[in-house]
Amino acid sequence: MKAALIGAGQIARQHLACLKTLPGVELAAVCDLSPATAEAVAERYGVPAWFTSHLAMLEKVRPDVVHVTTPPTSHFRLAMDSFDAGAHVIVEKPATSTFDELQALAQRAQEAGRHLIEDHNYVFNRAPQEILRRIKSGEFGAVTHVEVLICLDILGPNGFADPNSPHPALTLAGGAIADFLPHLASLAHLFVGSYRAAQTVWTKRKPSPLPFDEFRGLVEGERGTAALGFSASSQPDAFWLRVYGERMQAAANLFETRLTFDGPRNVPKPLRPFFSGLEEGKTIRRAALTTLLRKFKGPGAYEGLWELLARTYPALADGAALPVTANDVLEVNRMVEALKPREQP
C-alpha cells in the first residue's frame, strides 16, 4: 500500500519510522508547510517525494493511506481532502476540534468507502493488551471499574505554557488538557464501553496561559465506571492505569513498562499481602530495567502506535476488521465531548 504523511513535526517521526519497517508499505511522500522541514524529513527517512501543498501531493502521488499529523485544528480539512482523493486516513488525536466535525468526517469516509482511524496508541501498549487478554480468557473476571490518571508537567519550559510559542492545543475547549482527553477516553472505552453519563471538575492551580491545569472526571460506562484525571502539578510524571475486576486487579504505568496483577493466592489470608508485595517488587525491578533498555532501541514510549500501525495496514490491505473501527472513534470522541468543560474561564 502507498502511504503519505501530512505534517512533519515530532510525532510524524514516529509514524515515518514505523512505516519504514512495515512489509508491503511504500512510503511515497511527505508534506509540510515548511520546505526545509519537508525536505529534511524526506531525506532522513528515505522518502522519494516531498511537498508543501497537500493538494498537490494528493493529486500527484494518489496515496492509499494518508497520515495526518498536523495540529488538531487543521485535521478536518486535511482529512476531508484526503477522503476526496480516495485515501484512507490515519489521524493523530484529537481527530477534530469538535464532535460535529468528526461526524462529518465519518459520514464522508462512509460515502467514499474509506476508513477514518484515530491514533488510540496507548490502547495498544503491552500493558492494556495483556490486561485485555486476561479479561477475554476469563481469568480477570468482569471489569467493575477503571482509573486512568496522567500526571505531566505541562507548565514547565518544555510544556504548553510558553508565551513566546503558543501551543496549537490551547485553542481547544479545555486548552492543553484537551489534547490528552482521547488517551483517557480510549482506555476507558476499552475496558468499560461506551459512556452513559459523565461528571467533571476542571480547575486551575497555578498562574499560566492555560485555562485549566487540573481535570477530574467520573464516567458511567455500559459495563462499569471510570475515574479519569489529568494533573499538571502532581509529580513525578506518570500515566497510571488501574483496572478492577471481579477476580483480579491490575496496575500499570504506561510511561514505563510496569504492569502488576494482584489476584487470589493459595496462601493463608493473613500472608496474602506479604506474598503480593514480594511479587510486585520483583515485577517493578524487572520493569525498571526494561524501561531503561526501551529508551535505547525500538519505538520506546510509542510502542502502542507501532503496534496499531502494524495491525492496521494488513487489515486495510485484506479488507479485514480494523483494530480501531469507525464506531470506536465515534464512541471515544462522544465520551471526550462529554468530558470537555462547558465554559472556558
pLDDT one-digit tens code per residue, 205-214:
999 989 999 9
pLDDT category at 80 given cuts 50, 70, 90 is very high
CA distances from 102 to 80, 196, 206, 276, 293 (A): 10, 19, 33, 45, 38
Cite the residue boundaries of each domain of the chain with CATH code 3.40.50.720.
Answer: 2-118
In the prediction, which pLDDT does 157 show?
A: 73
Could you give the percent of the chain with pLDDT greater than 70? 90
Residues shown for the chain: 345
Q: Is the pLDDT of residue 194 over 90?
A: yes
In the prediction, which pLDDT does 306 show?
A: 97
Q: Is the pLDDT of residue 343 over 80?
A: no
In the prediction, which pLDDT does 286 show?
A: 64
- The whole-number average pLDDT for the span 47-71 is 98
In the prediction, which pLDDT does 299 show?
A: 75
In the prediction, which pLDDT does 204 show?
A: 96
pLDDT category at 171 given cuts 50, 70, 90 is confident
Type of residue numbered 334: R
Q: Is the pLDDT of residue 163 over 60?
A: yes
In the prediction, which pLDDT does 166 show?
A: 73
Q: Hey, which residues does 31 pair with through a beta bridge?
A: 6, 51
Type of residue numbered 335: M
In the prediction, which pLDDT does 325 show?
A: 97
pLDDT category at 193 given cuts 50, 70, 90 is very high
Distance between CA atoms of 29 and 21, rounded to whole angstroms? Answer: 16
In the prediction, which pLDDT does 328 show?
A: 98
In the prediction, which pLDDT does 257 show?
A: 85
Cite the residue boundaries of each domain of the chain with CATH code 3.30.360.10.
Answer: 122-304+335-339
Q: Is the pLDDT of residue 176 over 70?
A: yes
- CATH class of the region 2-118: alpha beta
Copy the grid coordinates of residue 81: 481532502
In the prediction, which pLDDT does 283 show?
A: 65
DSSP3 helix / strand / coil % (the chain, rounded to 5):
45, 20, 35
- The whole-number average pLDDT for the span 49-71 is 98
CA-based end-to-end distance of the chain: 46
Segment holding 200, helix H or strand E: strand 195-203
In the prediction, which pLDDT does 301 show?
A: 80
- The whole-number average pLDDT for the span 306-323 is 97
Is the pTM higher than 0.95? The answer reads: no
DSSP state of 168: G
Q: What is the pLDDT of residues 270-300, one digit of tens each?
A: 656 655 666 666 666 665 666 666 655 667 7
Strands 258-262 and 249-253: antiparallel
pLDDT category at 161 given cuts 50, 70, 90 is confident
CATH superfamily of this structure's domain 122-304+335-339: Dihydrodipicolinate Reductase; domain 2 (3.30.360.10)
Distance between CA atoms of 169 and 152, rounded to whole angstroms? Answer: 15
Q: What is the pLDDT of residues 219-229, one digit of tens each?
A: 999 999 999 99
pLDDT category at 338 given cuts 50, 70, 90 is very high
Contacts by 55-59 with C-beta closer than 8 Å and gap 24+?
55/81, 57/4, 57/6, 57/29, 57/31, 58/4, 58/82, 58/85, 58/87, 59/85
Distance between CA atoms of 106 and 115, rounded to whole angstroms? Answer: 8
Q: How many CB atoms lie within 10 A of CB 55?
A: 13
Nearest alpha carbon to residue 177 among 200, 146, 202: 202
3-state secondary structure of 46: coil
Average pLDDT of every residue of the chain? 92
According to DSSP H, which parts of the chain are helical?
Answer: 10-19, 35-45, 54-61, 75-84, 99-112, 126-137, 181-192, 272-294, 303-318, 326-339
Q: How many CB atoms lie within 10 A of CB 21?
A: 12
Q: How many CB atoms lie within 10 A of CB 219?
A: 26
Distance between CA atoms of 317 and 299, rounded to whole angstroms? Answer: 23
- The whole-number average pLDDT for the span 74-96 is 98
In the prediction, which pLDDT does 4 show?
A: 98
Distance between CA atoms of 27 and 40, rounded to whole angstroms? Answer: 15
